Amino acid sequence: SNPSLLILAGDGIGPEVMEEVKRVIGWFGEKRDLKFDVSEDLVGGAAYDKHGVPLHDDTMAKAQEVDAVLLGAVGGPKYDDLDFSVKPERGLLRLRKEMDLFANLRPAQCFDALADFSSLKKDIVAGLDIMIVRELTSGVYFGEPRGIHIEDNMRVGINTQRYTEAEIERAARAAFDLAMKRNKKVCSMEKANVMESGILWRDVVTEVHADYPDVALSHMYADNGAMQLVRAPKQFDVILTDNLFGDILSDCAAMLTGSLGMLPSASLGLPMANGRPKAMYEPVHGSAPDITGQGKANPIACILSFAMALRYSFDQGAEATRLEKAIEKVLADGARTADLMGPEDGTPISTTEMGDVILAAL
Ligand code: NAI
Ligand code: MG
């Protein structure tokens, strides 16, 4: 039978960009005989509107069964005042938590045609291709105790950075495995100078490294890492880091490449019975309420997320490259959605037109 894909388009521009991904999936089925069993369901505000919860139990169960989940985006002003327990983001967090997606892969890749568009000088970013592996299910966003308490008549906000050896080890393995498929170089970032969790992180990563003699490992304090990312990002291949630092460093790396509309991501868990990792693929951007319904959204981040699914869930690296090359070509030919141009750079093309030229390039 065909590999299975669950599409959760979500809210705002999610369904708009996902429409183009569906055409791309159709193209691979028709022209490359790469067929998927695609099902669709609701997540986020769309699920809340129908079920009163941001992720229905049936949808959660389906996500656990499929080979990969493809998610658009969740959230929007309509849902901002909802109780935290039913906020759209909670649908996303539940998927990550229950599928145990502990390794978040965020590539920062600079397409030559967009090098001028980066926040940095062209020679610093042209040809850039790095991958940040962020631990996603533990650390300070989840550690207990947490809360806002009263102490001595004063409010105190508390979060706890907590990592077990096992949590660090599996994130490290994900990074080393990935490095083996790339340029065999991992830089691990923490703050071992001031944090206990950082000391343990450095220890465990060094231990796991013993199983990967072909990979060059270096360690860096995360604050220096932030500086180096902006100063000379091409020194890196794979960057391994924790949940909090990864959140910040990956957003920083994002701006090396131009627009939020270009950035894909993958979140991977443990292997399933069929050997494939539990996996969810999604663009880094949100639901972009400011441009929803206007045909302005750039579908490339979501299409590149599908390319990552081809590579990391379905072992179709060559087909993933084919798709990335098609995107590189349309950008080189000058195709630009509004987010990829300045106000004086002419008329942008629409979401659907970007889909059209990518299909034509394929
Ligand atoms: P956002 O990513 O939705 O938008 C930030 C800016 O980038 C906006 O000006 C938007 O128009 C632009 N943008 C984003 N994606 C684009 C694309 N594909 N093409 C062209 N322009 C694009 O972040 P924001 O505004 O902070 O959040 C909006 C909503 O999305 C909120 O409800 C937030 O909670 C949610 N959100 C959801 C995420 C997810 O589903 N993973 C991630 C981030 C935010
Ligand atoms: Mg962030």
Per-residue confidence at 343, pLDDT binned at 50, 70, 90? Answer: confident
Distance CA 288, CA 76 (A): 8
- Roughly what angle, to the nearest 10 degrees, separates helices 14-31 and 351-361? 20
Average pLDDT over residues 31-55: 98
292 is in an annotated binding site: yes
pLDDT band at residue 79 under the 50/70/90 scheme = very high
pLDDT digits (tens, 9 = 90+) for 83-142: 988 999 999 989 999 999 999 999 998 888 888 777 778 888 888 999 999 999 999 999
Pairing state between β 68-73 and 37-41:
unpaired
- 289 annotated as ligand-binding: yes
Pocket of ligand 1 (CB under 6 A): 13, 17, 73-76, 89, 92, 260-261, 285-291, 297-298, 301, 339
Strand order in the sheet with 216-221: 37-41, 4-10, 68-73, 277-283, 264-271, 103-109, 129-135, 238-241, 185-190, 216-221
Q: Which atom of ligand 1 is nearest to the CA of 14?
A: 40
Atom of ligand 1 nearest to the CA of 73: 40
Q: What is the pLDDT of residue 256?
A: 85
For residue 51, pLDDT over 80 is answered with yes
Distance CA 78, CA 49 (A): 10
How many angstroms separate the alpha carbon of residue 53 from the centre of ligand 2?
24
Q: 72-76, 173-177, 255-259, 314-318: lowest mean pLDDT where?
A: 255-259
Q: Beta strand 129-135 with 143-151: parallel, antiparallel or unpaired?
A: unpaired
Give the closest residue to 71 by CA, choosing from 46, 100, 35: 46
**Separation CA 144–CA 121 (nearest Å):** 42
Q: Is the omega angle on the peptide bond into residue 145 within 30 degrees of 0, that is, cis?
A: yes
Q: Is CATH 2.40.50.40 the right assignment for the domain spanning 1-102+263-362?
A: no
Q: Which ligand is nearest to the CA of 286?
A: 1
Query: How far apart (Å, rounded) are the C-alpha atoms in residues 112 and 352?
Result: 23
- What spacing in Å lies between the alpha carbon of 153 and ligand 2's midpoint? 33
For a substitution probing ligand 1, which of 87, 247, 255, 260 has the most ligand atoms within 8 Å of its CB?
260
Tens of pLDDT, residue by residue over 218-274, are 999 999 999 999 999 999 999 999 999 999 999 888 888 878 899 999 999 998 999
Ligand 2 center to 125 CA (angstroms): 21
Mutation pick for ligand 1 pocket among 104, 285, 352 (CB with most ligand atoms within 8 Å): 285
Query: What is the structure's pLDDT at 120?
Result: 78
Q: Are strands 68-73 and 277-283 parallel, antiparallel or unpaired?
A: parallel
**Mean of all residue pLDDT scores within the chain:** 95
pTM: 0.92
Ligand nearest to the CA of 303: 1
Ligand 1: distance of its center to the CA of 252 in Å? 16
**Residues classed as catalytic:** 141, 191, 223, 247, 251
Domain boundaries along the sequence of the chain? 1-102+263-362, 129-255
Question: In this predicted model, which residue has the larger pLDDT, 84 or 69?
Answer: 69
CATH of 129-255, one of 2.160.20.10, 3.40.718.10, 3.40.190.10, 3.40.50.300: 3.40.718.10
Q: What is the pLDDT of residues 148-157, one digit of tens each?
A: 999 999 999 9
Q: How many residues does the chain have?
A: 362
Q: What is the ipTM of this complex?
A: 0.98
16-22 average pLDDT score: 98
> 134 a known binding residue?
yes
Written in H, E and C, the secondary structure of 291-358 is CCCCCCCCCHHHHHHHHHHHHHCCCCHHHHHHHHHHHHHHHHCCCCCHHHCCCCCCCCCCHHHHHHHH
Between CA 254 and CA 252 the distance in angstroms is: 5
d(CA 196, ligand 1 centre) in Å: 34
Please tell me the predicted confidence (pLDDT) of residue 116: 78
Ligand nearest to the CA of 247: 2
Q: How many CB atoms lie within 10 A of CB 3?
A: 18
